[in-house]
Amino acid sequence: MRLPVQVTRQLTLTVFNRSITARAMSFLVSDPKYSFLKELGIRERNPGAFDGAWKASGPVVKSVCPSNGKPIAEVQQGSLVDYQRCVEASDAAWKVWADIPAPQRGEIVRQIGNALRENLVPLGQLVSLEMGKILPEGIGEVQEYVDICDYAVGLSRTLAGSVFPSERPGHVLLENWNPLGVVGVISAFNFPIAVYGWNSAIAMVCGNTVLWKSAETTPLVAIATTKIIETVMERNNLPKSVASLCCGGADVGKAMAADARVKLLSFTGSCDIGKQVGVEVQKRFGKVLLELGGNNALIVAEDADLDMVVRATLFACVGTAGQRCTTTRRLILHEKVYDEVLDRLKKAYGQVVGRIGDALEENTLIGPLHSKQSLDKYVETVKKIIDEKGKIEFGGKVIDKAGYFVEPTIVTGLRHDNHLVHEECFAPIVYVLKTSSTEQAISWNNEVPQGLSSSLFTQSIDNIFKWIGPKGSDCGIVNVNIPTSGAEIGGAFGGEKSTGGGRESGSDAWKQYMRRSTITINHSKGLPLAQGIKFE
């Protein structure tokens, strides 16, 4: 993504008492190519705290485009003072929002979904510009928020309690669900809008208000999304702080974890940070929803359809430049198909490597890594692989162009229990392992600390039921003949073990955003005790 020649000349010749980077940002925001920034209300300088009004007093950070390393705009982050304002406004808004009947809350979420539909392409473009995923994925991420809004609208009319038979005459035993209050969401850079959408749409129809801290490197997506929600709240004369935002650093995240007013904290990020968040929230007996790392295996049995395997594995390994929590990190191949699958996969990599480039360009299949830090981690990991006597079958190099581009990488020669194979490098690196049986492959799948997503390709009914049974995959997502990446909103999304154990999106994930009450009503004149106890 290069600035026009005439712009570059102006950058060199004219400063007007401002820095070159500020001029670059000015031209990027005003360039017709990036008109979607103006459509979404993005300017050169953006306040990153919203409590019903846009203001912030924290440090100024630059949002950088990973496709070219250039700044897009500046964001003034929220400070701890701003955070306090936001959480107080969220708490005050909850007292209004919780009194609104659930179907009416669903109607507001329906309008949010429609507002997102109207901004589907520009918001998807911003995701691609700021995060670095290719445009179809950027638009698809916004669509995911739209879809979860549709799901939540239906949910708003089906939030069910229960009636149980009481053993005591003249008594009724009920179970009821009520909202928690303020729900905090700390999202990660790789899905800068969808994960917030999963949490916010369901939390809102359940009667909660939402306070969002976006990733430090994707503040513009959060600001644009919140502006869209703000218009819906304003149109319905509702408190705009039902959806508050406080862009900020680790200090804001720590404040959210320690704040008893945040009844549930949903955190998406690394296992190490997630462990700290979980402990901090537990100290105050708060509720926590953790979506942490994955080290996902795709197993290929000897009877698998290899055409399907190669197509599925290619996207699962290199899609989003390997920066999905569900990316395939380990490819476990039966020894009878090992050579053929490896050979065909290398050829497939060779076909797509020429289409690595600017995330906004139509022909691009693989975009950049998100940041310089991600690039450095990739380089460091490749060096460790070579030091450990691993073989680079394909890739392994940084691409010499502006931006944070690397070659998708295939590695063989390391044991299944090598420490590198058990660690998640958030980059397009896959370790290929040779197995002698499905049973052995399942044990290798389960031996890593993480437990998010897993896949088995087979035509055998016996293999399938071993895989999905009690001694099969120990992951939260267990797939057959589809890759590890990609999940539908109807099913609960999340993992086990070091992945955190939380569930978002579908199924009964809504229960995490509510508190359960067991209610006994005595409509008689007697006071019988349960279990037949007599106290007279």
- Gap between the Cα atoms of 361 and 353, Å rounded: 15
Q: How far is CA 341 from CA 303, 311, 456, 463, 479, in A?
A: 12, 11, 14, 19, 19
Pairing type for strands 71-76 and 45-47 reads: parallel
239 three-state secondary structure: coil
521 three-state secondary structure: strand
CA torsion angle 46 2 249 487 (round to 10): 100
- Gap between the Cα atoms of 326 and 485, Å rounded: 5
Q: How far is CA 461 from CA 305, 439, 453, 477, 481, in A?
A: 14, 14, 20, 19, 12
DSSP track, 288-331: EEEE----EEEEE-TTS-HHHHHHHHHHHHHGGGG-STT-EEEE
Give CA 452 to chain center in angstroms: 13
Residue from 44, 230, 291, 302 carrying the catalytic annotation: 291
DSSP track, 404-460: S-B--EEEES--TT-HHHHS--SSSEEEEEEES-HHHHHHHHHTSSEESEEEEE-S-
Strand partners, 246: 49
Q: Are 164 and 174 in contact (CB under 8 A)?
A: yes
Give CA 291 to chain center in angstroms: 8
| Catalytic residue list contains 167 | no
157 three-state secondary structure: coil
CA angle centred on 223, ends 221 and 225, rounded to 5°? 65
DSSP track, 480-519: ESS-SS---TTSEE--EETT-S--EESTTGGGGGEEEEEE
User: Tokens in use for 437?
Assistant: 């049986």
- Gap between the Cα atoms of 426 and 217, Å rounded: 16
Question: Where in the sequence numbering do the catalytic residues fall?
Answer: 291
